[in-house]
Amino acid sequence: MNYYLIAGERSGDLHGANLIKAIRQYDTSSKPTFRAYGGEQMEAAGAVLVRHYREMAFMGFLEVVKNLGTIRRIMRECQADLLANRPDVLILIDYAGFNLRMARFAKKHGIRVFYYISPKVWAWNQRRALKIKATVDKLFTILPFETEFFAKYDYKVEYVGNPLLDALADFKPDPVFRKEKGITDRPVIALLPGSRHQEITSILPAMLETTRQFPNYQFVLGTVSNLPESLYKCLLADFPHVICVDDAAYDLLHIATAALVTSGTATLETALLNIPQVVCYKTTGISYAIAKNLIAVPFISLVNLIADREVVKELIQNDLTPKRIGDELRRILPGESGRDAQLAGYAEVQKKMGGAGASQRAGRLMVDELTKEKSLTN
């Protein structure tokens, strides 16, 4: 069977790659082929990469509006490529703004649609759940509270667990990581400012200023190779004491005492690795004002959303100052009560999420669904 996958960011590329591996394992009746909008990891898993996600990663309402021309051009190209290849199924991975439109297009042209990692419709404009129900043949969710949410719209979804647990189960720490990266013997605080250009420019400066308050700690910045090195160098000019490690977030967190993390998938990864954290988020004033009026949930971090209470401190927009970051960071360092409370909250989150195997379950269910449909039409 022929599979077409679309992921618009780094985490989606990782989950898409693991899904491809699982589909290969279960689709034994044919020689499966994969075509994708994604990244290096999906390509390494065997997909023909049509376009890299770095060309599609726009964050915030204003940024999307400013780049509408580019987004529309890419979408037209994607639609044309989809029709030229007519796969057995289009598998969409998160990236709601683009992928929900692709779902509607594929449905209109008789192409079966699966969605893996639901758009966060529970966060804002919740009635978009009806659009998903109308255009997506099967939705595979990864957060435990999503089943109940979609049930309100009479839409049965498949909860498969969270693929981050798969990635973490496969992770093997590099025993010489610290030595090879020149990281000192001082306890490490990880800086994870995100993987988008705007996240780096909006959030990293405040993180870096905070480092001056903690001379007894070694700060290590997790960089990503899909962003230019010059972007980091410019911001790091006055912070020679900060060490950079590229594409090594798990190894960095493995040796960290605590972390400053931009809101997103990384907050959940940090929690699953049991590293106390402060969640950071800042965007443009216009984007924040729009989002504040639309958001329908009380938290922005997945950790707090899954726990349904504040486990990690979220410093958002004007609260994201070096002083506030420093105050919250001190609360979660060794010997402080805030650290024990956060680790106890992590245990609750991990229990709710269950075990590894999401990619395998999703891959098996997808192949079963497609095989069943083919047998009915033959």
CATH code where residue 19 lies: 3.40.50.2000
Closest residue by Cα to residue 212 from 319, 326, 336, 315? 326
Question: Which residue type is seen at 241?
Answer: H
Residues 38 and 100 in one domain: yes
**Cα(275)–Cα(332) distance, integer angstroms:** 10
Say if CB 346 and CB 312 are below 8 A apart. Answer: no
Q: Are residues 136 and 252 in the same domain?
A: no
In terms of domains, do 30 and 72 share one? yes
Cβ neighbours of 230 (radius 10 Å): 8
Q: pLDDT tens string for the chain (378 positions)?
A: 999 999 988 889 989 999 999 999 999 877 899 999 999 999 999 999 999 998 776 555 556 666 677 788 999 999 999 999 999 999 999 888 899 999 999 999 999 999 999 888 887 777 889 999 999 999 999 998 899 899 999 999 999 999 889 889 889 999 999 999 999 999 999 999 998 888 999 999 999 999 999 999 999 999 998 899 999 999 999 999 999 999 999 999 999 999 999 988 899 999 999 999 999 999 877 766 656 655 656 788 999 999 999 999 999 999 999 999 999 999 999 999 899 999 999 999 999 988 889 999 999 999 999 998 877 665
Q: Are residues 154 and 177 in the same domain?
A: no
Query: Residues in the chain, how many?
Result: 378
Helix (H, G, I), strand (E, B) or coil at 158: strand
Cβ neighbors of 161 (< 8 A, separation 6 or more) are 142, 353, 354, 355, 356, 357, 358, 361
Mark whether 142 and 83 lie in a shared domain.
yes
pLDDT computed for residue 109 by the predictor: 97
User: In this structure, are residues 261 and 277 in contact, taking their beta carbons and an 8 Å threshold?
Assistant: yes
Q: Please state the domain count of the chain.
A: 2
Order of all β-strands in the sheet with 243-246: 243-246, 218-223, 188-192, 256-262, 277-281, 313-316
Q: Cα separation of 32 and 27, whole Å?
A: 7
Identify whether residues 298 and 153 lie together within a single domain: no
CA 17 vs CA 198, 355, 360: distances in Å: 25, 19, 12
Query: What pLDDT does 378 receive?
Result: 58
- What's the pTM? 0.78
Residue 113: which of 135, 81, 141, 96 has the closest Cα? 135
Rg, C-alpha atoms of the chain: 21
- 175 and 321 in a single domain? The answer is yes
The pLDDT of residue 69: 72
Are residues 344 and 258 located together in one domain of the fold? yes
> Is residue 49 domain-shared with residue 184, that is, in the same domain?
no
Q: Looking at the structure, tell me whether residues 120 and 153 fall in a common domain.
A: yes
User: Does 214 share its domain with 66?
Assistant: no
What is the extent of the structural domain holding 217?
A: 170-353
Q: Are 202 and 172 in contact (CB under 8 A)?
A: no
Residue 155 and residue 45 in one domain: yes
What phi and psi values does residue 375 have, to the nearest 5 degrees? -65, -30
